Structure 1
Amino acid sequence: MGLLTIGVFARAARLSPKALRLYDELGLLTPARVDPSSGYRLYDPAQLERARLVAWLRRLGMPLVRIRAVCDAGPGAGAAEVRAYWARVESDTAARRDLAAFLIGHLSGKDTTMTSATTTGPRPAFAIRYAAASDTGTVRERNEDTAYAGPRLLAVADGFGGASGPSGLSGPSGLSGPSGPSGTDTSAPRAADTPGAPASAVAVEALKALETVEAPLGDLLNSLEEAARRAHDSVNELASSDPALHGVGTTLTALLWSGSRLALVHIGDSRAYLLRGDRFFQITHDHTLVRAMVDEGRITAEEASSHPQRALLLRALGGGGEFAPDLGVREVRAGDRYLLCSDGLSAVVGAEDIREVVAAAPAPGDAVRELIDLAVRAGGPDNVSCVVADVVASREP
């Protein structure tokens, strides 16, 4: 069979002539020959397989740059590229699912109000009992974590980077927050005087104003996102204020309560878990190189736990990176127990051991102490911070 005109080739490949001209310009699908007089593009029938592959990948929504990588790779490598792309699509879809559910409920007229913590008004459907603590661990000289718990806001941040700072606080900090479902927050961020520590502290400080914000539930996620952006800017300002702080950054995982829902902001490798009934599961996605490699099928979860680059972050606040957190809204239920922690816990204590403590501890303070003890007994190679909160029905006035 001779060369095919662009029209015939387009019909056979189920692509439009306009698309074929674009793919030619991008070097993705170059014609076998271009007539020097007319400029007509002519294609070899053998190119149909590549053209059809391009068409299939476009139906998946794959970007053209990534399609080129698939087409230029061999069959095995091409399959790995498609697997990696689809894993990312599923991850992004899962992150948007809760937000879609929230918007459906919001647009259906189920909005409530997040009232000021310092003024009278409608009581939320639920309240929380909470505790937070941070420990330097047995290896690090300083603590770069910050853990915070209040009536509406929970947060964990793990600072990093910068030149070595002066000696700071060390050893375990006390539990923060009352043990009851309501009350004045007397906690303060726990952080040490070391470059990563102020980064985590200023990030959490930027969120604390949300404790007394009055806003419709529809603005809950926007309020949290704006506060997280302020935290990102604050960390960048900190980095530019002193050469010794150049390059500092921090992870941030935070939950903000309103009525029967909570908003989540997450960036980095600190984590949030939920215990609901007998189910215990992670509700955040690690922004690390090894997690991306697992998602793409390049390594197993077991290999990731001992990978030499397992601490390498892909996203964080500050640190010279873009502001790109995960955001979501979740429905809460009475009896839920939430855990926020830095990787000083999750990197050395298995998920099943964490679950056992979270499920068995009678109160948030007990859970926090036992989890930190677990990390320390496992060697405590990093700072470890935990926040635990129980969702309870609001007390009647």
Structure 2
Amino acid sequence: MTLMTIGDFARAAGLTPKALRLYDDLGLLCPAEVDPHSGYRRYAPAQLERARLVATLRILGMPLSRIKNVVNGSNAAAAREIEAYWRQIEADTATRRGIVTTLVHQLRNEAHEMTTATRTLHAEHGSSHRQGRRDAQQDALLVTTGLIAVADGFGDRDDVAAAALAAFAESGLVGAISEIAPDVSAALPELPASGTTLTAVAFTGGSAQVTHIGDGRVWLVRDGEVRQVTHDHTVVAALIEAGELTADEARAHEHRNLLNRALAPGVVADEIVLDLHEGDRLVLTTDGVHSHIDDLGRLLTLDGTPQEVADAVATAVAEAGEPDNHTIVVVDLGRAA
């Protein structure tokens, strides 16, 4: 029997070598052979089915201790265990929904009226928009004086992202949804034939209104520190934030880009208001950028013009193989003349 190296097995299973070592340590997926001198692990092709099952259960958020009961039982027992786990998840979610409703109502009643900043900051823009190794360009960007936005389309239509941004600039989120509604369905994560994400920043005086749906990102660079303003609307991102999945487990998983929100009728966007300071840098990226650069924060803090920073990021994506369309918009904010 020909055994597979840990690297080859990881790629075939949609995992990383680090995740496989974790599963070995926990007794979930032990290698078929371990070299007694080097400790190097090798796996049998027949183990791929078990590895993929473990990876899928982790995407569901199932704890590692509970996964052991699933993979070590019969198929019938495994099915019962998974059903029982999911019934508990649904019950827990319903309980948390009630807590959230009460908490939001309480906070809104106690909220103090906030003053709106009236100062105006000058914005300098730079951008990069490349097709990468995809057959078509499905990313889109919009850069105007008061509005910047990126969108990442998927499916049969290549123009859906650009159409959504044009409509958003004209008539906001309602207009963007109406523009593409004939081509999409809200039944995510069973993705429609065509659709798009949308991440936009509108500037008003000294503040910015962020509208976000999907896995584009807004970054704020202030005083040399980088903060991700938005949260990815993907299954794995939610699990990572909840501490139920490690970033390393998610990094190579075949479902790592599975959206749980995209632009569609009935979708609820994240709305965020940022108070801007002179010297701030705002950056928008599609996932073709941030999914393939490990040191993105270092690039976003580079000295230079916004265009120089955008070009540096695009070069880094190209050096990483640019497997996807990739778009970046960089905005530096300074004192108005």
Q: TM-score, normalised by structure 1?
A: 0.55
The amino acid of 2:285's aligned partner reads C
- Secondary structure at 2:301 match in 1: helix
Question: 1:340 is matched with which residue?
Answer: 284
CA distance in 2, matches of 1:100, 1:393: 36
Residues 93-172 of structure 1: pairs in structure 2 closer than 5 A: 104=112, 107-108=113-114, 110-111=115-116, 124-137=119-132, 139-162=133-156
Residues 355-394 of structure 1: pairs in structure 2 closer than 5 A: 355-394=297-336
**Larger Rg computed on CA atoms:** 1
CA distance in 1, matches of 2:141, 2:124: 15
CA distance in 1, matches of 2:311, 2:276: 24
CA distance in 1, matches of 2:95, 2:146: 37
Question: 2:161 is matched with which residue?
Answer: 200
CA distance in 1, matches of 2:235, 2:198: 17
CA distance in 2, matches of 1:355, 1:157: 21
CA distance in 2, matches of 1:111, 1:161: 41
Question: 2:179 is matched with which residue?
Answer: 234
Question: 1:329 is matched with which residue?
Answer: 273
Residues 1-397 of structure 1: pairs in structure 2 closer than 5 A: 104=112, 107-108=113-114, 110-111=115-116, 124-137=119-132, 139-162=133-156, 195=157, 197-209=158-170, 227-237=172-182, 247-318=193-264, 322-350=266-294, 353-395=295-337
CA distance in 1, matches of 2:194, 2:234: 17
C-alpha displacement at 1:112, in angstroms? 6.1
Aligned-residue identity in percent: 29
C-alpha displacement at 1:299, in angstroms? 1.3
C-alpha displacement at 1:132, in angstroms? 2.0
- Secondary structure at 2:289 match in 1: helix
Moved over 4 A (4+): 77-87
Q: TM-score, normalised by structure 2?
A: 0.64
8 A contact 1:83–1:297 mirrored in 2 = no
CA distance in 2, matches of 1:84, 1:363: 48
- Segments of structure 1 that go 5 or more residues without pairing to the other structure are 1-71, 114-123, 163-194, 210-225, 241-245
Rate the CA distance shift 1:250–1:80 in 2: closer, same or farther, 3 A.
Answer: closer
CA distance in 2, matches of 1:250, 1:79: 29
CA distance in 1, matches of 2:299, 2:258: 28
CA distance in 1, matches of 2:322, 2:148: 23
8 A contact 2:184–2:193 mirrored in 1 = yes
C-alpha displacement at 1:307, in angstroms? 1.4
Rate the CA distance shift 1:361–1:237 in 2: closer, same or farther, 3 A.
Answer: farther
CA distance in 2, matches of 1:161, 1:85: 36
CA distance in 2, matches of 1:84, 1:256: 34
8 A contact 2:285–2:329 mirrored in 1 = yes
8 A contact 2:183–2:195 mirrored in 1 = no
Any idea what the Cα deviations from partners look like across 1:288-317, whole Å, max 9, x if unmatched? 111122234331122111111011111001
Rate the CA distance shift 1:383–1:281 in 2: closer, same or farther, 3 A.
Answer: same
8 A contact 1:133–1:147 mirrored in 2 = no
The amino acid of 1:277's aligned partner reads D
C-alpha displacement at 1:253, in angstroms? 0.6
C-alpha displacement at 1:361, in angstroms? 3.7
TM-align CA RMSD = 3.3
CA distance in 1, matches of 2:300, 2:117: 30
- Secondary structure at 1:360 match in 2: coil
CA distance in 2, matches of 1:126, 1:348: 32
Question: 1:168 is matched with which residue?
Answer: none
- Secondary structure at 1:317 match in 2: coil
